[in-house]
Structure 1
């Protein structure tokens, strides 16, 4: 399913005097449509307008009612089809027209999803907002890869880190190295060299296990494992593409024992192939 781009006006429409609409800020989860919450699915089905992001999977887009207008406002690195400030304006504009909007974002809107900025803009205009949490990518993708974020005797905590910032990236690398936590880096693919170098310089063992999870929670999921010192090489060698999560920590070594999703996909594919050839 292609995600069309839209040309949008650059000004907020004045309030027309009709009753204000509302906005539901909905986390779509990491890709598998069956990971949508019941509340999220109901919101998708009942909305007057769906405004959605790049990380909302095609399988979830296929659940949109055919009669419901949609607006794609996806953002990718170095290419914003619609700037965040304009998205904020659009939400206000459409709500002031009386529409009940499903604002659909990949993962969870409050985990590196800029959901807080959108809610602030709406509340400043007196527009009713509700938050429908989603399964964040770190929890969903690691689970589908067989990597527990915490495990008794291995990791007593986990820390989510963004490797992308609007201006300067400010990360306490020494603090991360000393935590003895599972570290999950969002949007870190292009910063793999920096992540590897900085964590080693901060004292983390170069042989610390790492995993890269590409397109997690989809049938195209790929899991690549290695060591911290190899991280940049793994990205190039396997030609990994966004979205890819980077997981650093000893829990990565449990993936082989706890793997389940790849076998399930292989089994389903085998059954489908058998039926087609029967």
Structure 2
């Protein structure tokens, strides 16, 4: 049996091979995204799972107790429950069947160790630091930043803006983990606690060391959610306990998100808070599909509209007649579920039926899918192709562009 000190670092090609994860909590939530990206046939066995794990469509989830024999046919296994006896049983079965196994709670008890890792431009890098998870995570992040910027400097380890007992509100970008800012990634690597939204790039959580507490604040549409006051309370509680809290959100924390409410809650509680802007999906996702939201020869304006409230709803603050009359670009966020209503109100307001429309699902990620339509037939095409959130809708002449 190996220990972290003498572990032999190796890369596994798991495409199409069975991988068994026993446990569906925060450890699974961190580890699963990279396993999914590897193309493995992933089976998760757990008594319960976080909302984020439940939402992962690329896994086979069995909500039950682990049973001896569950590793049959597996090439790789991870024991990640909060029950030491169950983890020990998983490791024992793996040993009997010569299956490499990571034990998340006691690393030295497994036959494999998970390194702090990342991928960059076709390069896979893993770091082991003798069980010192914070050290391996910090070095991993420094190497990645050095690759991105072409330099290696001791300044990469400067933690002057990390405030123990404070909160950093970090925009994670539109989906691709490489689109978080350098500062955002650096602060994330230093976090004691990460409070993460569903739309925050999940690969970023996979990079965190096991010592980091990940709190799932996933707001799955029409499913379970964590109330905003509960999110505020847990950030403040952890910060007042002397921990450095990163509130990781998708896109930019101030674009149709409750970032400012969270800042205000921290300020009212006397907790230091830092805002790290992020790349908003409203601009980045159309760009990833080759569509500019503005083009100097076509339009001089664009507007970003939240689609979480239907036209005509008493809580709607949008002047839809004014939007219909404009000639520029309309970018709709959170609008797929109500696209029929938005198309109808724009058509009735005078927007031409042949206005180009672009819908981009899961933009900037490997699963990105684009659909082109017109304002008249967009709802029908969206339903026919089964487009689901997260998706961005671009309406206007620029939507006819593309690479």
CA distance in 1, matches of 2:242, 2:170: 19
CA distance in 1, matches of 2:226, 2:314: 19
Match of 1:43 among 171, 174, 187: 187
1:153 paired with 2:297, answer yes
1:108 paired with 2:252, answer yes
* Deviation digits for residues 97-144 of structure 1 (CA, Å, limit 9, x no counterpart): 111101000000000111011111111011100000000011110110
**1:1-278 alignment, distance < 5 Å:** 1=32, 4-5=50-51, 21-165=165-309, 168-255=315-402, 259=403
Contact 2:173 2:201 in 1 (8 A): no
The answer to which structure, 1 or 2, has the higher relative contact order (CA under 8 A, 6+ apart) is: 1
How far is the alpha carbon of 1:57 from its aligned partner?
A: 2.3
* Deviation digits for residues 170-219 of structure 1 (CA, Å, limit 9, x no counterpart): 32111112222211111001110011000011110011000110000001
How far is the alpha carbon of 1:79 from its aligned partner?
A: 2.2
How far is the alpha carbon of 1:224 from its aligned partner?
A: 0.1
* 3-state SS in 2 of match to 1:155: coil
How far is the alpha carbon of 1:63 from its aligned partner?
A: 2.2
Contact 1:55 1:105 in 2 (8 A): yes
* 3-state SS in 2 of match to 1:87: helix
* 3-state SS in 1 of match to 2:248: strand
Contact 2:177 2:204 in 1 (8 A): yes
Compute the TM-score of the two structures, normalised by the length of structure 2: 0.58
* 3-state SS in 2 of match to 1:147: coil
Q: Unpaired runs of 5+ in structure 2? A: 1-31, 34-48, 53-162
RMSD: 1.8
* 3-state SS in 1 of match to 2:256: coil
Contact 1:32 1:60 in 2 (8 A): no
Moved >3 Å (runs of 4+): none
CA distance in 2, matches of 1:59, 1:48: 18
Compute the TM-score of the two structures, normalised by the length of structure 1: 0.84
CA distance in 2, matches of 1:126, 1:168: 32
Contact 2:192 2:211 in 1 (8 A): no
CA distance in 2, matches of 1:212, 1:175: 22
How far is the alpha carbon of 1:76 from its aligned partner?
A: 1.9
Q: Unpaired runs of 5+ in structure 1? A: 7-18, 260-278
